[in-house]
């Protein structure tokens, strides 16, 4: 059987990336059930917002006291504002064809981080297909895990859900550590780590965006000197 | 439609708009354009800040994991990474096992 770029990407997602995403989305599905919202709400959030920081902020603000719509949307969008620079950065690797636009809804941190490491080593025509395979596998894993989490919420101990949530930062910590040797990455990793305390000051909605902007811009400027 | 439903639909649309604007902008520039390098640096820095905050000063449910258990998880993950020569999946499982073991002991 010939291995196509799509199949290769799909297969490569079904390891640590799917585990990291699955664990986090399972905990999210359970949190949605606890908040009294339906499974379709949880699935639409996981499948179409598809950015955990924004999903958690939205869940907290929309179901909290008051539940005002516009503040919830503004806070969740700010928490996921990284979609913009991430899409800018990956666009040249996805080529100029129509397949690039099929990738649009799947641009999220896990497929993005894997693609930024993997795509430069592939021939140009294979890149969007690899990305779509990887993205579809991780997206499917996210939806399946959300469903399981929502259904199992009554029997999932809180401690286990908390431990599952840790899988995601641990996965990205390992990925960033592995990428420290790549050009342009080390400075941005250090910049982001140094700017992280800004998020404690500004709160979860705007804080991550501010830390990324300050740390990333600082690393970019230092790298150009 | 409840306010939670409306907020969800609007957040989905805003996310799609951000992604579309990024793809349009990034696709119109040459790959070595400084703006692409800047966007990449901001994305990596955001991810790095997320990792640091999640481990050192998490919020929500993650904050219920005691910090020694979080540190043990990171240390076990790093040890797994070295032991399994960069294998992400075994390193991740080692990290989770380390976290759960330290949490149980404490």
Mean pLDDT of A61-73: 75
Q: Is this complex scored with an ipTM above 0.90? A: no
Number of folded domains that form chain B:
2
Contact yes or no for A89 and B29 at CB 8 A: no
User: To the nearest whole number, what is the mean pLDDT of chain A?
Assistant: 89
With respect to residue B40, please indicate whether it lies within any of the assigned structural domains: no
Contact yes or no for B25 and A85 at CB 8 A: no
Which residue range(s) make up the domain with A62? 5-162
**Residues of chain B contacting A204 with CB distance shorter than 8 Å:** 59
pLDDT in tens, A138-168: 999 999 999 999 999 989 888 888 888 888 8
**What is the helix (H) or strand (E) element at residue B97, kind and residue range?**
helix B88-105
Q: CB of A84 within 8 A of CB of A112?
A: no
pLDDT in tens, A181-205: 777 789 999 999 999 999 888 876 6
> Quick one: which of A202, A17, A113, A51 has its CA closest to B18?
A51
Which residue range(s) make up the domain with B5? 1-35
With respect to residue A45, please indicate whether it lies within any of the assigned structural domains: yes
Q: Shortest Cα distance from B21 to chain A (angstroms)?
A: 7
**Residues of chain A contacting B81 with CB distance shorter than 8 Å:** 174, 177-178
Q: Which of A138, A162, A186 represents a domain boundary (last residue)?
A: A162
> Quick one: which of A161, A129, A51, A163 has its CA closest to B8?
A51
A181 & A82 share domain = no
A189 & A144 share domain = no
Residues 18-57 in A contacting B (C-alpha not used; CB under 8 Å): 19-20, 27, 31, 37, 41, 44-45, 48-51, 53-54, 56
Distance CA A112, CA A109 (A): 5
């Amino acid at each position: 059987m010939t291995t196509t770029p799509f199949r290769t990407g799909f297969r490569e997602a079904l390891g640590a990336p799917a585990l990291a995403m699955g664990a986090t989305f399972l905990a999210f599905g359970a949190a949605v059930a606890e908040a009294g919202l339906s499974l379709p709400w949880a699935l639409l959030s996981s499948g179409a917002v598809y950015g955990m920081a924004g999903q958690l902020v939205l869940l907290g603000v929309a179901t909290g006291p008051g539940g005002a719509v516009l503040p919830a949307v503004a806070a969740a969008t700010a928490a996921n504002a990284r979609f913009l620079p991430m899409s800018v950065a990956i666009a040249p690797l996805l080529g100029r064809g129509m397949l690039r636009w099929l990738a649009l809804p799947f641009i999220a941190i896990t497929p993005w981080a894997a693609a930024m490491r993997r795509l430069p080593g592939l021939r140009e025509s294979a890149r969007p297909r690899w990305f779509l395979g990887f993205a579809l596998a991780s997206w499917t894993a996210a939806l399946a895990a959300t469903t399981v989490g929502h259904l199992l919420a009554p029997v999932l101990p809180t401690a286990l859900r908390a431990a599952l949530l840790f899988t995601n930062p641990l996965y990205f910590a390992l990925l960033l550590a592995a990428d420290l040797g790549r050009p342009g990455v080390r400075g941005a990793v250090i910049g982001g780590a140094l700017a992280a305390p800004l998020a404690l000051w500004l709160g979860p909605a705007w804080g991550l965006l501010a830390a990324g902007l300050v740390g990333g811009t600082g690393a970019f400027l230092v790298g150009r000197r | 439609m409840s306010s939670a439903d409306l907020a969800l639909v609007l957040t989905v649309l805003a996310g799609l708009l951000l992604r579309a604007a990024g793809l349009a902008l990034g696709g119109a520039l040459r790959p070595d354009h400084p703006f692409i390098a800047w966007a990449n640096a901001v994305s990596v820095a955001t991810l790095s800040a997320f990792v640091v905050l999640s481990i050192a000063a998490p919020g929500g449910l993650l904050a219920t994991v005691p910090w020694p258990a979080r540190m043990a998880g990171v240390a076990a993950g790093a040890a797994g990474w070295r032991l399994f020569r960069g294998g992400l999946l075994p390193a991740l499982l080692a990290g989770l096992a380390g976290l759960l073991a330290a949490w149980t002991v404490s």
